[in-house]
C-alpha cells in the first residue's frame, strides 16, 4: 500500500479541485493500491468531500480525512503558545504546519508516506518515488540546486539573507522545497514531536525566519537528508523558462499558482488533462466559467466608467497636465488634443515630481505603468486622487488588461 498525504484548507470552496487534479494524476499513473490521507482544518465542504470520494471510487482507491484541529487540539494550543506568529501570518496558515505533524496525526500502521502539496501534478508512476530511499534522518527531498543543475542554470540560485545560511544550517546545494517529501515516519517519530520542536526553534530565532515550516525542515534536515532525483519536484516556472515546452517524467510543482488554459503550453495541458477527469469538471463547468468571466468583466467595466465619470466631473473647467515619459509625449499630445495652455510634464526616476501647476486651475493625468508609486507621491504632496489627479490610462481605450479575467484567476474562481 502506497500512502500519500496532502494538507488542505478550503474556506472558499474553490481550492479542492487542485488537490483533486493532483490525486487524479497519481491514480491515473499507477496500478498500485493507494491510500490518500487529507489533513484539513475543517473547511472542506461536504460537496467537495463527496467529490473526493467519487474520485477515489472511480479508481477503486481510498481517501481518508483528518480534522487536525479536533485530533490535535492540545498540541496546536501548545504550538500557539510557543509561537503565535506561526499561526497568525497572512502569508502562511495553520495548515502549512500540518506536514510537521504527520507522525502524530497518521495512524501508527502508516510507517512511510509521500507528502505532496496540492499544486502538484504527477507525470510518472508514484511507485518510483515510493521505492526511493530516505536515509538515516527519515526524510527525502529534492534540492533546488539539482533541478537547476539539470537545466544548466545553477547561476539562477544564490544565497539569500536567510539566517539558515548565516548560521550554517544550509548551503545553496542543500536548500529544498517541502512541497514533495518522502518520509519514514518510524524514524521521524523517534525524533520527538517535530511540530513543537520546530516552533520552539523558530521562537529561539525570533523574527529571523521567512518560510515557517520549510525553514524548520531545512534547519533540521538539510545537512543529512536524502537527495531525491531532480525530476521529483520540478517547478513549472523553471520548466517554462528552461525546458522549451518539453515534458519530462516526474512531478511538476505549480508554485505560485502557475496554472493556465493554453492547450499549446504543455504544462498547462498536463494540469488540465487530469482536472478534466475529476468530479470538479462536469456539464456546468463551461457555463460557470462564462458566468464568472462575464461577471468579472461587467464589474470591472462599471468601475472603469465610475472612475471616468469622476475624472470628467472634477476636471471640468480646468486645464490638463499630462504626466508621462518623453517617448510617449507626441502620441499623448495627439490622442488627447492637448491645447496650447495645457501642459506635458516628464516623469523621471528619483521619486521627484514637478507639481508646478495649481490644482485650482489644472488637473493632472498620470500615464505611468507604476501608477501606485506616483499616486503615493502626489498624495504625499497633498493632492487628492480623482479630485486633483487620476490615472490617465483609464481614458485610453487600448488599456483593457484589467477588464478581462486572466486564466489563473478564472481557474481559481471556478
Taken as a whole, the chain contains a residue count of 414
Cα 3 from chain centroid (whole Å): 25
Which residues fall within 8 angstroms of residue 251, CB to CB, at 6 or more apart?
116, 120, 121, 122, 123, 124, 129, 180, 231, 232, 233, 234
Q: Is 76 helix (H, G, I), strand (E, B) or coil?
A: helix
Q: What is the pLDDT of residue 165?
A: 79
Q: Can you tell me the distance from the alpha carbon of 191 to that of 179, in angstroms, rounded to the nearest whole number?
A: 21
Q: What is the pLDDT of residue 399?
A: 77
Q: HSE, CB side, 13 Å, CA atoms: give it for residue 182.
A: 24
Using CA atoms, how far apart are residues 152 and 287, in angstroms rounded to an integer? Answer: 44
Confidence of residue 199 (pLDDT cuts 50, 70, 90): confident
Tell me, what's the pLDDT at 90?
59
Indicate whether 412 pLDDT > 70.
no
Q: Is the pLDDT of residue 17 over 80?
A: yes
Q: Are 60 and 30 in contact (CB under 8 A)?
A: no
Q: Do domains 2-281 and 286-401 have the same CATH topology?
A: no
Whether 203 contacts 168, CB under 8 Å: no
pLDDT in tens, 42-60: 999 999 999 999 999 999 9
Q: In the chain, where are the structural domains located?
A: 2-281, 286-401
CA 212 to chain CA centroid, nearest Å: 16
Topology of domain 2-281, per CATH?
A: Spore Coat Polysaccharide Biosynthesis Protein SpsA; Chain A (3.90.550)
Q: Once rounded to an integer, what is the mean pLDDT over residues 162-182?
A: 85
Contact 142, 229 (CB under 8 A): yes
pTM above 0.75, yes or no: yes
* 3-state SS assignment for residue 320: strand
Topology classification of domain 286-401: Cobalt-precorrin-4 Transmethylase; domain 1 (3.40.1010)
What confidence category does residue 264 fall into, taking pLDDT thresholds of 50, 70 and 90?
A: confident
Q: Highest-confidence range of 162-176, 257-271, 394-408, by mean pLDDT?
A: 257-271
Question: Is residue 185 exposed (0-12), middle (13-18) or buried (19+ Cβ within 10 Å)?
Answer: buried
Strand ranges for 367-413 from DSSP E: 389-391
What pLDDT is stored for residue 88 in this prediction?
60
Alpha-carbon distance of 323 to 345, in angstroms, equals 5
β strands within 105-258, DSSP E: 112-116, 120-123, 139-141, 180-184, 226-227, 234-235, 250-253
Cell of 389: 489627479
Separation CA 240–CA 112 (nearest Å) = 32
d(CA 276, CA 274) in angstroms, rounded, equals 5
Q: How far is CA 410 from CA 113, 219, 260, 300, in A?
A: 33, 37, 9, 14
pLDDT tens-digit map of 245-263: 899 999 999 998 888 888 8
CA distance 91 to 211: 9
Angstrom distances, CA of residue 222 to CA of 98, 134, 139, 210, 294: 19, 13, 10, 16, 48
Amino acid at each position: 500500500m502506497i500512502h500519500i498525504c496532502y494538507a488542505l484548507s478550503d474556506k472558499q470552496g474553490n481550492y479542492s479541485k487542485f488537490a483533486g487534479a493532483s490525486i487524479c494524476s497519481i491514480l491515473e499513473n499507477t496500478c498500485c493500491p493507494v491510500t490518500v490521507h487529507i489533513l484539513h482544518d475543517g473547511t472542506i465542504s461536504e460537496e467537495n468531500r463527496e467529490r473526493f470520494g467519487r474520485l477515489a471510487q472511480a479508481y477503486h482507491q481510498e481517501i481518508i480525512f483528518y480534522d487536525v484541529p479536533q485530533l490535535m487540539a492540545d498540541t496546536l494550543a501548545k504550538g500557539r503558545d510557543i509561537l503565535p506568529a506561526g499561526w497568525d501570518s497572512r502569508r502562511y496558515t495553520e495548515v502549512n504546519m500540518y506536514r510537521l505533524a504527520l507522525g502524530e496525526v497518521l495512524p501508527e500502521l502508516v510507517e512511510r508516506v509521500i507528502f505532496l502539496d496540492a499544486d502538484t501534478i504527477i507525470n510518472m508512476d508514484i511507485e518510483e518515488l515510493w521505492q526511493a530511499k530516505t536515509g538515516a534522518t527519515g526524510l527525502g527531498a529534492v534540492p533546488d540546486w539539482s533541478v537547476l543543475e539539470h537545466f544548466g542554470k545553477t547561476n539562477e540560485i544564490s544565497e539569500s539573507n536567510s539566517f539558515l545560511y548565516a548560521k550554517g544550517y544550509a548551503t545553496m546545494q542543500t536548500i529544498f522545497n517541502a512541497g514533495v517529501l518522502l518520509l519514514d515516519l518510524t524514524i521521524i517519530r523517534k525524533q520527538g514531536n517535530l511540530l513543537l520542536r520546530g516552533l520552539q526553534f523558530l521562537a529561539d530565532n525570533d523574527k529571523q525566519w521567512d518560510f515557517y515550516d520549510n525553514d524548520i525542515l531545512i534547519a533540521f534536515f538539510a545537512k543529512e537528508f536524502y537527495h531525491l532525483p531532480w525530476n521529483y519536484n520540478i517547478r513549472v516556472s523553471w520548466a517554462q523558462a528552461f525546458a522549451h515546452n518539453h515534458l519530462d517524467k516526474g512531478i511538476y510543482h505549480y508554485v505560485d499558482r502557475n496554472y493556465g488554459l493554453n492547450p499549446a503550453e504543455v504544462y498547462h495541458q498536463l494540469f488540465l488533462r487530469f482536472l478534466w477527469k475529476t468530479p470538479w469538471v462536469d456539464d456546468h463547468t463551461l457555463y460557470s466559467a462564462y458566468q464568472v468571466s462575464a461577471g468579472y468583466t461587467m464589474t470591472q467595466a462599471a468601475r472603469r466608467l465610475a472612475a471616468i465619470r469622476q475624472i470628467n466631473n472634477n476636471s471640468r473647467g480646468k486645464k490638463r497636465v499630462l504626466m508621462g515619459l518623453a517617448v510617449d509625449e507626441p502620441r499623448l499630445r495627439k490622442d488627447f488634443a492637448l491645447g496650447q495652455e495645457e501642459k506635458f510634464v516628464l516623469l523621471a526616476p528619483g521619486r521627484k515630481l514637478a507639481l508646478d501647476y495649481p490644482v485650482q486651475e489644472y488637473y493632472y493625468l498620470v500615464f505611468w505603468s507604476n501608477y501606485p508609486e506616483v499616486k503615493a507621491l502626489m498624495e504625499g504632496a497633498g493632492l487628492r486622487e480623482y479630485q486633483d489627479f487620476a490615472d490617465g490610462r483609464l481614458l485610453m481605450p487600448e488599456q483593457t488588461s484589467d477588464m478581462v479575467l486572466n486564466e489563473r484567476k478564472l481557474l481559481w474562481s471556478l
